[in-house]
Each structure stands twice: as structure tokens, then as C-alpha cells.
Amino acid sequence: MKRFFYVLAITFLFFPIASVHAEQPKVELATEARSAILIERDTGAILYEKNAHEPLPPASMTKIMTMLLIMEAIDQGKLKLDERVRASEYAASMGGSQIFLEPGEEMTVDDLLKGVAIGSGNDASVALAERIAGSEEAFVHMMNEKARQLGLKHTAFENTTGLPAKNHYSTAYDMAVMAKELLKYDLITKYTGTYEDYLRENTNKKFWLVNTNRLVKFYPGVDGLKTGYTSEAKYCLTATAKKGNMRVIAVVFGAPTPKARNAQITKMLDYAFSHYETKPLYKKDETIAIVPVSKGKKKAVAAVTSEPISVLLKKGEKSEAVKTTWKLNKKVKAPVKKGDVLGTLIVKKDGAVIAKSPLVAKEQVEEANMWELFKRMFSSFSRTS
């Protein structure tokens, strides 16, 4: 039953981005890109796309998946921001963009995450990957497994960095899905939305970080996510911006210059914010229902939203026709892990389903021991006697 609901969750989570297409613009928004996509984050509605399913080298946009697994580890308590991580000789040997880690150097997870998100540090990416999975190879396996779980059919990773590799590819659509998932963790934009910062600040090796995504500074509302460049991939960018209640994600692969890349992202963001608006329905982690748990130390657990839930409207469109319902799994048995799927939130507009999203356990519920179950049964018997 748990496996069924896990699969159900994956299906529901990406139903919106897979199925909801807003009216496509009559003008071409990404003439100089090999592929592109524009989506609204909460609903996943596709506002524009061009060759969105063409497999291409993602360069350092690969680090969106790397950061997703890092944020998951932090959220699950497996990794602490103030924990110090020792750089291996292998991590320190990475070429390309780097923060110049030395073998044996220790740096906090917080600083390494800055190195990945702001400076696109390949060495920082590998150091964190090794800390989480034991080796980069094992972490790459986790990346590919996560891609499979997310239903990404045209993505494969060979490394954590985006350095050129034969079977390392993704698509604009898949990258948007990864970005959508990463943005569930509000903390990430603290890093990706920072334009400049310093590492080793109180040492004689002070290192200045400048965000490779210049739109963070020059486009109001942009707070992520990741650039990419190799001679094969050309200039790539997965960007996100928020204005008012609306957050959008724009992806560009294969632009000829940084200027062309930024211009096309800007054009897509302008289009989204001028034509659409988002009506929020629920925040992430908002309690929707209380679900009974059998044989648990606690008798019930809260079912909460796993992501922000909104409805996308054209500017001036009325929202009265939007309704929400939910379905809960009635047979929940301990142990329950935080994040386990307990049901589904359903959003309807004019009676038609426009989005579905999993409802998940707010906290862990451990299995009760025999003594606890006996006391509970005895107490129940006493009350009915």
C-alpha cells in the first residue's frame, strides 16, 4: 500500500507541469536558444516552450540536481549547515569553476553551498557529494535515481558538476521539473539569490564570490537558480523570479552568448508577469487534515501540503470557479516517516481537475511497543465498561 501511494505521489506531483498548457504566445520568445521553456512554479503550467524535450548537455545547470539532493539531506537532518566537511584530494582536483579547495581543507556546509550556488564551484559540489554519499559515483547514482523518481525521461548524469561527459544530458522540460522540486526548499534562494559574498573571510585567503547569474542583480525578483557553460553546451540558464504571489521558472539551453541568454530569459519573464497572475490557495506545510495512525506511539498525524498550492489566472480573470478537495488514505499504520504520502489534494476549476498534489505526514510517528498497545487497549476497555 505504501509503495502504491509513493508512486501515486510522483504521478500527482507532476501532473500539472505535464498536462496544463497555458495559451502559447504568438511571438517567439527564445529565437536564439536551442531549446527553452517557461512555467509557473506552483501549478507547473507551461506558458511557453521550444524544443523542450530535446536532450542537450546541461553544463553547470547539472548542479540544480546536486543542490536538490543537498537540500533534501539538510531537510532530513542528515546534514547540518554548521557541519565542517573535509575536502578530499579528488574534490580539490576538480577543474573548471571552483572555489580552490585544498586537499584536507575544512569548510562548513553553509560555505560550501555558497560555493556551489553562487560561484558554481565544481570542487564544492564534489566535496558535498562525497559527504552525503561517500563518493561522487554513489552520489551520481542518487541523482539518476531521483531523476527516475521525478519521471524525467530524457535526463542522465555522469557527474555532479556538469563537466562534459558522453552520456550526460537533460532537457529544458526536465530541468524545469528539477527546479520546481528544488524551490520547495525556501532556504535555497538565500544562496542562489545572493549576488556576491565571501569565503574564508577572516583569513589571508579571503575569496570573493560573484553570482554567475547576473540577472540576480539586474532583474527585479530574480533569485536563482543556475547558469551553465561549456563549449559544447554554449550558454545555458535556469532562472526563477517572483513578483507578488507568482513565481515562474525560465530555462534556456544553447544560447550563443551570455547577453543573448539573459535577453531571452528576460523576455520570457516579462511575458509571464505581464499576462498572468497567481492566486495562492495553500502554503507549503499547511495542515489540511488529521489522519488516524494505527499501532503508533501517536494516534494521529497531520497531513500537510508538500508544496505551495496555487491557481494560475490570466490577468483580470475571476477565480470564483476554483475549488479544492482532498482524498486521504484511511489505512495508515505505524511507523510513519515525515514526508510519507497520506493522500492527495485536488484543485478543480469549473468542475475540471487542473492540479493534484500529494499530502504528506508532518512528522514521524514511531511504532508503539506491546506494552503501550496493551495500556491503550486496557484504557479503551475501561471507558466502555
List the binding residues. 226
* DSSP-derived secondary structure letter, 59: G
Q: What angle, 0 to 180 degrees and rounded to 10, lies between the N-to-C axes of helices 63-75 and 122-133?
A: 40
* Element holding 137 (H helix, E strand): helix 136-149
**Cβ distance 91 to 101 under 8 Å?**
yes
Query: For residue 176, what are the contacts with CB-CB under 8 A and spacing of at least 6?
Result: 17, 37, 39, 52, 238, 249, 251
Neighbour tally for 193: CB within 10 Å: 20
Hunting for cell 550558454 — which residue is that?
235
> Residue-wise over 33-61: b if at least 16 C-beta within 10 A, else e?
bbbbbbbbbbbbbbbbbbbbeeebbbbbb
338 within 8 A of 362, measured Cβ to Cβ = yes
Q: Distance (Å, rounded) from C-alpha 217 to C-alpha 224?
A: 11
**Cβ distance 300 to 330 under 8 Å?**
no
What residues act catalytically?
60, 63, 120
Q: Burial, 378: exposed, middle or buried (Cβ in 10 Å; 0-12, 13-18, 19+)?
A: exposed
Give binding residues for substrate as ranges: 226
DSSP, collapsed to helix, strand or coil, labels residue 182 as: helix
> What is the arrangement of strands in the sheet containing 35-40, beginning at the earlier edge strand?
46-50, 35-40, 246-255, 234-243, 222-230
311, 362 Cβ separation under 8 angstroms? no
